[in-house]
Structure 1
């Protein structure tokens, strides 16, 4: 009996890297990192000034104090402005990704699927017609066979 050699760690790692999902994930991370700069620029250049028209331009300045005084490092400060800024960044990122990437891609894939189904639909009609012809041939052969058996 010959023992099967287990793949080396390097071969396993190489096989892992060559999977399509890993490459797609790597591309997504790189694009996401570049895309983050765009979204941050939109938030800092457009959203923050719009908020600044009402209050301060830096959302990090919005906070609340839970203790009697919050001077320097003393007191308990809730930095809800930072959370608001991060939430706005997340919502803007999600909207841009959805409207500029997901929605057009899903429409494109739906068109491709509709075309494929239309092509398959015409094939099914032909196949159904061929099936009907084959059934008729079978029935004719059975009828002919039955009449030939009666003559003997």
Structure 2
């Protein structure tokens, strides 16, 4: 019983994660957006391409064999092998429009927003400037080090101010 409770608890936690809910919302919005793109392709793009021929891109086809025939009543292919390249073209146009809209209306603005957010943040990798107290402490330590020379290393500033050394 405890194992099934653990599995159910794990499944509940999986469903309640933010990324699963965001994914579900993205699927629903994507499905609704697909309907809009399909309407644009069928209502705008196909008639523009249809100015060259048929408005319905599904009617664009090629026959691979010498004898291709359609039944005039049903429109079904009775003989020959047809390549329905018009429907492939329609699907490719739908994909390109969908990809362009997603990129220009969603991805590009999101990337620019992320860049602005990153520019607002202070750089975490760069060291912080020392505080006034730290600078004063360093100056004090440097002054003390100048007054008391180390016994093993002679200092250029050792000696008294105003006295000259004479060489004998």
Superposed displacement of residue 77, structure 1:
0.8
- Which residue of structure 2 aligns with residue 136 of structure 1? 139
2:53 counterpart SS class: coil
Give yes or no for the alignment of 1:93 onto 2:98. yes
Map of 1:1-152 to 2, 5 A cutoff? 6=3, 8-71=6-69, 72-117=77-122, 120=123, 127-130=128-131, 132-140=135-143, 146=148
Change (3 A) 1:50 1:136: same
Please say which structure displays the higher CA radius of gyration: 2
- Which residue of structure 1 aligns with residue 73 of structure 2? none
The total of aligned residue pairs comes to 138
1:83 counterpart SS class: helix
1:73 counterpart SS class: strand
| TM-score (normalised: structure 1) | 0.78
- Which residue of structure 1 aligns with residue 160 of structure 2? none
1:68 counterpart SS class: coil
Greater per-residue helix proportion: 1
Q: Which runs of 5 or more residues in structure 1 are unaligned? A: 148-152
Q: Which runs of 5 or more residues in structure 2 are unaligned? A: 70-76, 150-168
